[in-house]
Amino acid sequence: MDLGTSEGQVYRSKGMIPVQVRQKSNIFESSFVLENRSGFDRSLVLQFPKSGYVHVVVNGQEKKSTGALLPLQQRDLPVHVMAVQLAIPKDSSLTIQVQFLPTYGMYVPAKFDVKVEDMVLFEKNDTSRLFWQGIFLGIFMVMALYNLFIYFGVRDISYLYFVLSIVGLGLYIAFYYGFGMEYLWPNAPRWDSFCYTIIVPFTNMSRLLFTRSYLNTPVLTPSINWLLKLLLLASGVLLVISFTGYALDIDILGQLVDFIGILGILVYILMLSAGLVAYYQDHYAPARYFILANILLVIGAILFILRELNFLPDTFITRYLVQIGFLVQVIVFALGLTQRYNQLKLEAAQQRIDSELEKKEMIEKQKELLQVQVDQQTKDLKAQNLQLEAFIHQLEESRSQLTELNQVKDKLFSIISHDLRNPLATMQSFLKLITERHDQLSETDKEKLIAEAQQSLDYLNQLLYNLLQWSKSQMQLLEFRPDYQSVHDALERNRRLLFLQAQMKQIQVQVSSTDALTVYADKEMLDFMLRNLLSNAIKFSNKQSQVNISAWKEGDATMIAVQDEGIGMSEQIKEQLLHANITSSRRGTGKERGTGLGVLITKEFITRHGGEMHIKTAPGEGTVFTLVFPDACTD
């Protein structure tokens, strides 16, 4: 299939093909001939450089339109790029006339290149864009909600600024990859053109406010704080100008894009510099997490901005490193914000100690000066000494709790660095294979890669849920609301939830319980424990085997047991599950992956109920997990 210009030059229809244009006022026109010499009918997509309006006339009759300022449904192809669809029979030609109406100066193309692509290939690439960027936007939503939940729990303004920065970056990614125009505001093309100039300054302001709050720059680094306020002011001014330009429809997009790009680079550089100064000059411990979280994001963002300003070529690194950096940022900040929260608590405790010590010194001086009131002073001192001892005891307990929180942080970092990084790395590898070798992969290989990516995403989703439950448990954020629950209803409810998982391995799940049997437990925690134990039983059972769930009354306790006929476990693994505060994960009989968090959370939940968890097992002989619920649980 060949493409010829009006001057008779012929180009192969692969990649970007330059065409010559004629300018009339603020309108650019071009024409060329498209010939089909392939020997069969073709369905093609012509992609044009971004412009306000693009009108295409085929053979002087059929008119097609697209453009950045057209609502989505009025475009020939309802997609975010400037494209029209053509059907060209075999051994025929089409005369194409194109008219570009930029409307805004930013939409005057630097190069008038036309891309010719088969419709099938275009749809495949578009599906890949929707899939991978959709996954990434899903992670944005999960992390934004997770940190917003923490903010409502601890009321630390740093979390709110961090959530706003995540939302801002997520909106920009949605705009950049067409999700905004295609799903969020399909009938607002002018907003889609201006929203970048509003979203980016808003995101910059959120990042600057987060930097000030997290690093405590007003107190620790006043000079850095002055620069942060200066960039905040500049971002605010740009935000006002952008809103004004949008409201009054002023053609300032081209100038705004350049200023926003330069300001964005300055913001990222200053953020990283503030972290380095706080850590190396002021020895502020939380700044270490700030540096680790932002260094890759800052590098990726600067490369991305320079690419958008046409100073760097479009490569995998310049395009996607900023998104990889974001994933690293949210993971590290999950630890860094916890560290900061702990440090603030420790500083407050230290202030209380200093205050109490000052009181004690004052009392001692008064004792020496007021000998006349020795008896009364002695009684007062004894009382205050008792209070001080009680306070010191409380302080020791607080230090013990802080030590436990630090151990939790280390465990969480270990889990995230291994179990969360692997599926992310897997999805990154699949993305690289599909984007760089899509022409070399068969449909079977692509389906297999997509299936593997889906498994990694399912595993990642389960891991994030378990991490959230475990983190809330460790930070005492889970509400404990016990009530009398029907054991039979709970068993049946969770058996139905896992029916598909059992059916895939042809495993029969049998429930044995009376309708009248009840247990005094928190409904959400009870469901989590039953669902986790039943899921593990299915995972470690062989195909065509049986899992039994039974419940009965034994003295003053209610017993619930989950028994499988699977691979069992060694005594070492059993003791680790019962007594250690670390996670242990194994592959199931169907190579299912696990996080090891489920049993750990189950053990903590049953302890919260004042009960116990027993394990009876042997290698190759299956396993029985038994939960013991007392009639009256302790909170």
Residue 1 predicted with pLDDT over 50? no
Q: Do residues 92 and 42 lie in contact, with contact meaning Cβ atoms separated by under 8 Å?
A: no
User: 484: helix, coil or strand?
Assistant: strand
Longest dimension (CA), the chain: 119
104 or 343, which is more confident: 104
**Interval 100-135: pLDDT, tens:** 999 888 888 777 888 898 999 999 999 998 898 888
Mean pLDDT, residues 51-77 taken together: 93
3-state secondary structure 51-99: CCEEEEEECCCEEEEECCCCCHHHCCCCCCCCEEEEEECCCEEEEEEEE
Residue 153 is inside which H or E element, if any?
helix 119-154
Q: Do residues 282 and 300 lie in contact, with contact meaning Cβ atoms separated by under 8 Å?
A: no
Q: 2-123 — its CATH code?
A: 2.60.40
For residue 533 the two structure tokens come to 């134990």
The highest-confidence range among 7-16, 26-35, 68-77, 367-376, by mean pLDDT, is 68-77
Q: Do residues 153 and 475 lie in contact, with contact meaning Cβ atoms separated by under 8 Å?
A: yes
Model pLDDT, residue 470: 63
Mean pLDDT, residues 320-327 taken together: 85
Per DSSP, the residues of 371-404 read GGGHHHHHHHHHHHHHHHHHHHHHHHHHHHHHHH
Residue 7 predicted with pLDDT over 80? no
Residue 324 is inside which H or E element, if any?
helix 316-369
Q: What amino acid is encoded at 579 in this protein?
A: H
437-445 long-range contacts, CB within 8 A, separation 24+: 438/124, 438/125, 438/128
Q: What percent of the chain has pLDDT over 90?
A: 31
Mean pLDDT, residues 596-625 taken together: 87
**Interval 550-595: pLDDT, tens:** 999 998 999 999 999 888 888 888 887 777 665 566 777 777 766 6
401 vs 610: CA distance, rounded Å: 20
CA atoms within 13 A on the CB side of 219: 5
Residue 297 predicted with pLDDT over 90? no
630 or 499, which is more confident: 630
Residue 164 predicted with pLDDT over 80? yes
Residue where the block lists tokens 């201006």: 194
What's the mean per-residue pLDDT of the chain? 83
Model pLDDT, residue 633: 52
145 or 46, which is more confident: 46
DSSP secondary structure code for residue 542 in this structure: P
Mean pLDDT, residues 535-552 taken together: 91
For residue 462 the two structure tokens come to 């389960």
105 or 8, which is more confident: 105
User: 109: helix, coil or strand?
Assistant: coil
Residue where the block lists tokens 């194994």: 586
Would the CA dihedral through 13, 14, 16, 17 be positive or negative?
A: negative
For residue 300 the two structure tokens come to 């990726």
Model pLDDT, residue 383: 79
Model pLDDT, residue 444: 78
Mean pLDDT, residues 512-539 taken together: 89
Residue 438 predicted with pLDDT over 60? yes
Q: Which ranges of 475-545 does DSSP label H, i.e. alpha helix?
A: 487-497, 499-504, 523-539
Q: What amino acid is encoded at 331 in this protein?
A: I
Model pLDDT, residue 476: 64
Q: How confident is the model at residue 57 (pLDDT cuts 50, 70, 90)?
A: very high
Model pLDDT, residue 6: 36
601 or 46, which is more confident: 46
The segment(s) of the chain belonging to CATH 3.30.565.10 are 482-630
Residue 265 predicted with pLDDT over 50? yes
Would the CA dihedral through 145, 477, 491, 541 be positive or negative?
A: positive
| Protein fold of 482-630 | Heat Shock Protein 90 (3.30.565)
103 vs 80: CA distance, rounded Å: 18
CA 10 remoteness from chain centre = 48
The segment(s) of the chain belonging to CATH 2.60.40 are 2-123
Q: How confident is the model at residue 439 (pLDDT cuts 50, 70, 90)?
A: confident
Tell me the backbone φ, ψ of residue 441, rounded to 5 degrees. Answer: -95, 140
